[in-house]
Amino acid sequence: MPSTVESAVRRDRGDQKLWVWLTVLTARGRKCTYCDEEQSVTLEHETPLATKGRDIWWNLVPACDRCNRWKNRKSASEWKIDMEMEHRHPGAGFARNKLPLQVVMGITERVAEVQREIQDSARLRWFEHHHGKYKKPRLRREVHECVEACVKELARYPYPPWVSPELQAEAKRCTRRLCCGHTHPDAWFGFIILSVDERKELLRAAYDEGLYVGDLLGHWVKRYLAERARSKD
């Protein structure tokens, strides 16, 4: 567990950064951990903050709105037991709303599964690297759009980019062959001629920004194109 990741999440208690939302909401194919049916739209605390849950990785579970509402302040295991009891003694008041028994029985396993997935360090680093710089939008709809865009982006890769080999084992920037390396689906080759000093400066700048050189150049080119488009209207 990289400590920077943990502190980033802890610092923003209750209001995690965008990349944390993306990391969690894209897990398990976006399916809600509890009902295994609806799309995940929110982060659930596996042990709610109201009790002793700390707002850190192993507490975050993607859930749909309905399950989030139904589970309310209970922990996943409390809620699971209550729903089981409600199935055995209908109307005895254990849970006002319940998921089908078969679905209830799988909750523990799905929580463990999703936590394994979101704690995968290569996956974590990938999300932090690619989305760590963006602020979480205020509106829920906007967060949802970011998740949609990220899922679409991921779908274009033949396999998850964090599984692809690193060209250079470096913590500071991503050198995964599939996403920031030359086999990215949008990779495009061009040439620039720079002096040795300029090239050194460029490499240093990219390193400082935590970006692959191509990404840094791409960023400038995109800004230039956007400005150019604006000045034309």
Contact call for residue 64 and Zn ion (CB under 5 A) = yes
Nearest approach, Cβ of residue 4 and Zn ion (Å): 18
Whether 55 and 14 have beta carbons less than 8 Å apart is answered as yes
Span interacting with Zn ion, options 35-43, 52-60, 102-110, 137-145, rule CB under 5 A: 35-43
Nearest approach, Cβ of residue 22 and Zn ion (Å): 6
Residues 9, 19, 24, 34: which binds Zn ion (CB under 5 A)?
34
Contact call for residue 166 and Zn ion (CB under 5 A) = no
Nearest approach, Cβ of residue 204 and Zn ion (Å): 20
Nearest approach, Cβ of residue 115 and Zn ion (Å): 17
Residues 27, 35, 41, 107: which binds Zn ion (CB under 5 A)?
35
Nearest approach, Cβ of residue 130 and Zn ion (Å): 5
Residues 24, 60, 76, 180: which binds Zn ion (CB under 5 A)?
180
* CA-to-CA dists, residue 96 to 10, 63, 79, 99, 101, angstroms: 33, 18, 11, 10, 14
Residues 118, 147, 179, 211: which binds Zn ion (CB under 5 A)?
179
Span interacting with Zn ion, options 3-11, 29-37, 111-119, 192-200, rule CB under 5 A: 29-37
In the range 135-154, which residues lie near Zn ion by CB under 5 A? 150, 153
Give the residue with the Cβ less far from Zn ion, 34 or 57.
Answer: 34
> Applying CB under 5 A, which residues contact Zn ion?
32, 34-35, 38, 64, 67, 150, 153, 174, 176, 179-180
